[in-house]
Amino acid sequence: MAYKVNFKQVELTGFESSPFAERLAGLRAHEARYFRNNYRVDFVTMAVDENPEIINRIKAILSGQGLDLPYQALEVSDFVVNNIRWSYVFYDNGLVISIEYSINPAGKREIGVKMVEDAGTPVEFEDRCKFVRQRSNLAGIIRESYFPLKGNF
């Protein structure tokens, strides 16, 4: 069932099985606040099995970048705002992948990698990303990095 993320307080809905449930839910609320404040759009997620097309698309894009992530995906989101398609996957190990794909061929296309602070850096990103820390009232410390998305999807 689709879940409209509450960006005013952290709700664990959908993340109960994660050892990082509270911080992961905080990171999700942080993203919801970003989209609400910048685009006036509600951030809606759903369980992975509710819409397998989303996770299959994300996996295909990541595989095209040489990333086959073995982690358990808990929730996904996919929507278009200002001619940019945003796709998200939230993993049980505290990792969040976002794919920003401009519909305009000359537009911005990148993969964002975010993690809750206590989560270890996945080996797939150790040599690929330099992480910066960001303080969030909802999520605590978030580690994040971005890299360009190569190819057309």
**pLDDT tens, 119-150?**
989 999 988 889 999 999 999 999 999 999 98
Which one, of 129, 133, 153, lies nearest residue 143 by Cα? Answer: 133
* Domain span at 118: 3-148
The number of distinct structural domains making up the chain is 1
**Average pLDDT of 89-101?**
97
Q: Give the tens place of pLDDT for each residue, 11-70.
A: 999 999 999 999 999 999 999 999 999 999 999 999 999 999 999 999 999 999 999 999
Q: Which H or E run contains 58? A: helix 52-64
> Model-level pTM?
0.95
* In-domain check, residue 7: yes
pLDDT band at 1, cuts 50/70/90? confident
* 16 part of a folded domain: yes
Q: What is the pLDDT of residue 126?
A: 87
Confirm whether 79 is domain-assigned. yes
Put the strands of the sheet holding 44-47 in their side by side order.
3-4, 44-47, 73-81, 84-91, 95-102, 109-116, 140-148, 132-136
Tell me whether residue 94 is in a domain.
yes
Q: Is residue 153 part of a domain?
A: no
**Close Cβ partners of 126 (under 8 Å, ≥ 6 residues apart):** none
